[in-house]
Structure 1
Amino acid sequence: MAKDVESLALCLRALLSENMHRLDATVPPLPFREEVYASSRRLRIGYYESDNLTQPSPSMTRAVRLTSKLLQDAGHQLIPFSVPRIEYAFIHLFTGGLYADGGATLLEKLKGDIVDPSMQGLVSQLCLPDPVKRFLAGILRFTEPLTSQLLEELRGVGTPKKLWEQHTAVEEYQQEFIAKWRSLDLDVLLAPALGPAFYIGYPAKAARSSFYLALYNLLNFPAGVVPVTTVTPQDEEELAFYRGYYGDGSDKNFQEAVSGSVGLPVTVQCIALPWEEELCLRFMKEVETLVKDQGGPK
């Protein structure tokens, strides 16, 4: 979105203004809190190296460890954090919400158009009759249980009442996440960002790994990524021993998607609570500055 954090802050200053609210009534009349962005207060930072859904690539893990050490050496407090009920969030809340209508809207938008080959597998699954989806989910329950549950979610929620229940479940999970955050008295959260960049054609094959980022879309938390390092030959050597947490097709595809990436940039994710965009940017700026002081991503 921008070449540096300051450019993002400049954009937000322009958006969060009285003039912008007059032009577009849906923009909240909340001014950019310069004092939060410019603060030098030491932070209590939660962190995790894995979401326990997709095993991170070696470079992702190293990026978080590197950043954690830089932050700790700068005087910030680092507190271990674990994402609550990650499978539930990914399967039922994210996937279930995304395809609540069984994919009907997506298929309607794609009708008569050329489907990118990387999306063809998903489109083919969505086009299956409901009894076939149910039958395949039953078979896969014994060999790839996670895939089986995802296929069940592609069937849609079924009724308006179930849709409301799904929306409520998302709100309840958001409150659960915030409660855990508050119990640790955190200011911000440091997490892996999906990376490095995938080979062409692999994003749809290893879509589960995208939940490292999509989790915070689901929660509606402000989040941004900052480059902190690049993939090293040692990262590439360690990747050869990658197995994943489920040992299924998605894990195998993720390993292939990030292989041969020596020299590519690797980022970390900086997250804050809702309505704390300035604090999120301040945290991103802190990470960016500390990395630059070390000579930049390398």
Structure 2
Amino acid sequence: MLVSKLDKTTAREKSIRKSIGLLTQNLLVTHQTLETTSPGVLCCILIICDVCFQNPDFESSSIVSLSLPELTGKLKDGSLQPDAVLYALMEKALEVNKNLNCSTEFLMESVAQLEDIKTQKKGLLYGVPISIKDNVSYEGHDTSCGVVSKLGQPALVDSVVVKVLKKQGAIPFIKTNIPQGLLNYDCSNPIYGQTLNPCNLQKSPGGSSGGEGALIGGGGSFLGIGTDIAGSIRIPASFCGICGFKPTAKRISARGISSCIKGQNSVLPSLGPLARDVESLALCMQALLCQDMFSLDPTVPPIPFNQEVYESSEPLRIGYYENDGYLQPSPSMARAFRETKDLLERAGHTVHRHTALTVVIHVLFIVTTCLMYIVCVLCDFRKPSPIDPCIRNQDMILSTPGFIMRLISFVLKPFVSHEIGYIQEVIAEWRRLNVDVLLCPMLGPAYNFTYCGRLNSALSYTSLYNLLNFPAGVVPVSAVTEEDEAQLSQYTGVHGDMWDKLFVKAVKGGVGLPVTVQCVSLPWQDEMCLRFMREVEQLTAKNKLTRKY
């Protein structure tokens, strides 16, 4: 009856069909019934339906396909309005979430925030919708970490990073999924379920910032904020074919970041951005490293973003290693690394082999094993929460009698005090080689489900830089080929043990999946790391190693 009273133009009919489609697809298919639909998702759907109804020509595809630099330019010159961008991204995020199950909550305060930013029109991220990981506090919303016992405890205030993003004009609009207790590099928990990989629905998106990786990789966000304590930004970025950056710990304030692990200071978490390209990562870092953050958290060193270092075009002195001596790279990892190294050499950069890191890699795992037991002692998330299958191996450790865990922790604890010595040893070798940055393989391609919890040894390529507190980022450079896949049958690994055999099973069936490399620099030289990442991105794009996913 309503339709018959409307102006039956083609555009209006299209608008109505689009509105009805949004309702039926997102309510009936994704959530089955109205009763089980979260208020945030329901409000988001109704807002988009209203926008489509009021604006028959509204098309989100032209907006969501923009790069972040293009988007910020259009927002600043007024050719795009913040409300159109927010609604377009909400619509896309609903679609992506229906397919990938990557969000935990839509933040409807984002709609109210539109009115505030319209009056101010300032900030490096003016009008840019941003996604945030579940454990990043947003006032009035849970930071559950995928743990049932942490539900119903909404944050009283925004985290510092959210406050700074808002001051820079950004609009946090969605929170994203994580593994239970953040104790895995997959992305599944008993509350929100399993997140899927946007490049292949049969693969893991990585974790623990897996919801961010999936949402951005699927086109549902331009920019997201994650956390990284063993590769939790870099692994999902690698698995989902996007860029991710782990800054030096404490470069960005961690105030208001929820965790199930308290009292562990040997390896510090880093907050950092995930995005579709390196330029977006740099823009986010520039926006965050401002006086507002330094005032809100005086414990953060007041070091603004060094644009001159980031934009430098001087030839780089690059150290590298092809194998850390602990986990042999998969065929696609090794090939992508070699191709990238060759491109850098041909571009005029100086390349040196770096060997010191393989010396400390075994000690790293003694330290991280010790930390795992400390986690087990301190973590109380099991009560009364069910255990997700992805962390079943960790749960077995949690079930170990307390006196045994205390004994092992006592035996291993002295190794933690050697950490500073190892950091200085690596820096000394770095200085001896006189290199600016380091190129190394990055874990990939994306795993088949359930293997992340069984292959902690594979974290050697990422967790080392958390222990050393070196900034590190990943850049997509290639994709798995049929030849890479065939070579898996000859993969023997470093030790030829059960873990090497398990790794082959984890990465099997990856043809077409993205492959990345990892870029590293010394502590507090985050801009140098980003500059190196940009160089890798530009060179691989020129040589058509990257693919469109």
TM-score, normalising length: structure 2: 0.48
Q: What is the aligned partner in structure 2 of residue 117 from structure 1?
A: 389
Higher relative contact order (CA 8 A, sep 6+): 1
When residues 187 and 123 of structure 1 are mapped into structure 2, their CA distance, relative to the original with a 3 A threshold, is same
Q: Which has the larger radius of gyration?
A: 2
Q: What is the aligned partner in structure 2 of residue 129 from structure 1?
A: 401
Equivalent runs, 1:47-126 vs 2, <5 Å: 47-82=320-355, 83-99=357-373, 101=374, 103-106=376-379, 108-126=380-398
Inter-partner Cα distance in structure 2 for 1:193 and 1:209: 10
Q: What is the aligned partner in structure 1 of residue 318 from structure 2?
A: 45
Indicate if the aligned counterparts of 2:376 and 2:397 stay in contact, CA closer than 8 A: no
Indicate if the aligned counterparts of 1:118 and 1:203 stay in contact, CA closer than 8 A: yes
Q: Is 1:13–2:299 an aligned residue pair?
A: no
Inter-partner Cα distance in structure 2 for 1:118 and 1:250: 17
Residues 89-121 of structure 1: CA deviation (Å, up to 9, x unaligned): 23322222332x372123x12232121212112
Inter-partner Cα distance in structure 2 for 1:296 and 1:66: 9
Q: 2:439 aligns with which of 155, 168, 190?
A: 190
Quote how far apart the aligned CAs of 1:252 are: 1.3
Inter-partner Cα distance in structure 2 for 1:155 and 1:8: 43
Q: 1:28 aligns with which of 296, 301, 304?
A: 301
Quote how far apart the aligned CAs of 1:48 are: 1.0
Equivalent runs, 1:132-147 vs 2, <5 Å: none
Among the aligned pairs, what percent are the same residue? 46
In structure 2, give the amino acid aligned to 1:118: C
- Where do 5+ consecutive residues of structure 2 fail to align? 1-273
Residues 126-178 of structure 1: CA deviation (Å, up to 9, x unaligned): 322367x6xxxxxxxxxxxxxxxxxxx8954328xx74x44421111111111
Inter-partner Cα distance in structure 2 for 1:110 and 1:130: 15
Inter-partner Cα distance in structure 2 for 1:158 and 1:111: 25
Quote how far apart the aligned CAs of 1:5 are: 0.6
- Where do 5+ consecutive residues of structure 1 fail to align? 134-152
Indicate if the aligned counterparts of 1:84 and 1:177 stay in contact, CA closer than 8 A: no
In terms of mean alpha carbon deviation, does 48-57 or 265-274 score higher?
A: 48-57
Indicate if the aligned counterparts of 2:324 and 2:361 stay in contact, CA closer than 8 A: no
Q: What is the aligned partner in structure 2 of residue 143 from structure 1?
A: none
Indicate if the aligned counterparts of 1:96 and 1:154 stay in contact, CA closer than 8 A: no
Inter-partner Cα distance in structure 2 for 1:26 and 1:184: 33
Indicate if the aligned counterparts of 1:53 and 1:86 stay in contact, CA closer than 8 A: no
Indicate if the aligned counterparts of 1:97 and 1:166 stay in contact, CA closer than 8 A: no
1:11 aligned counterpart, secondary structure: helix
In structure 2, give the amino acid aligned to 1:198: Y
2:496 aligned counterpart, secondary structure: coil
In terms of mean alpha carbon deviation, does 22-31 or 287-296 score higher?
A: 22-31
In structure 2, give the amino acid aligned to 1:30: I
Q: Is 1:231–2:480 an aligned residue pair?
A: yes
Inter-partner Cα distance in structure 1 for 2:529 and 2:409: 34
Q: Is 1:158–2:430 an aligned residue pair?
A: no
Q: 1:260 aligns with which of 489, 498, 509?
A: 509
When residues 13 and 87 of structure 1 are mapped into structure 2, their CA distance, relative to the original with a 3 A threshold, is closer
Inter-partner Cα distance in structure 2 for 1:112 and 1:242: 42
1:85 aligned counterpart, secondary structure: helix
Indicate if the aligned counterparts of 1:222 and 1:280 stay in contact, CA closer than 8 A: yes
TM-score, normalising length: structure 1: 0.86
Indicate if the aligned counterparts of 1:207 and 1:250 stay in contact, CA closer than 8 A: no
Inter-partner Cα distance in structure 2 for 1:87 and 1:278: 26
In structure 1, give the amino acid aligned to 2:369: T
Q: Is 1:2–2:271 an aligned residue pair?
A: no
When residues 244 and 39 of structure 1 are mapped into structure 2, their CA distance, relative to the original with a 3 A threshold, is same
In structure 2, give the amino acid aligned to 1:91: F
When residues 102 and 124 of structure 1 are mapped into structure 2, their CA distance, relative to the original with a 3 A threshold, is same
Inter-partner Cα distance in structure 1 for 2:456 and 2:439: 22
Indicate if the aligned counterparts of 1:126 and 1:154 stay in contact, CA closer than 8 A: no
Indicate if the aligned counterparts of 1:67 and 1:228 stay in contact, CA closer than 8 A: yes
Inter-partner Cα distance in structure 2 for 1:3 and 1:33: 22
Instruction: State the number of aligned residues.
Output: 273
When residues 122 and 154 of structure 1 are mapped into structure 2, their CA distance, relative to the original with a 3 A threshold, is farther
Quote how far apart the aligned CAs of 1:294 are: 1.3
2:515 aligned counterpart, secondary structure: strand
Q: 1:241 aligns with which of 490, 510, 519?
A: 490
Residues 8-48 of structure 1: CA deviation (Å, up to 9, x unaligned): 11111111112221222233211111110011111110111
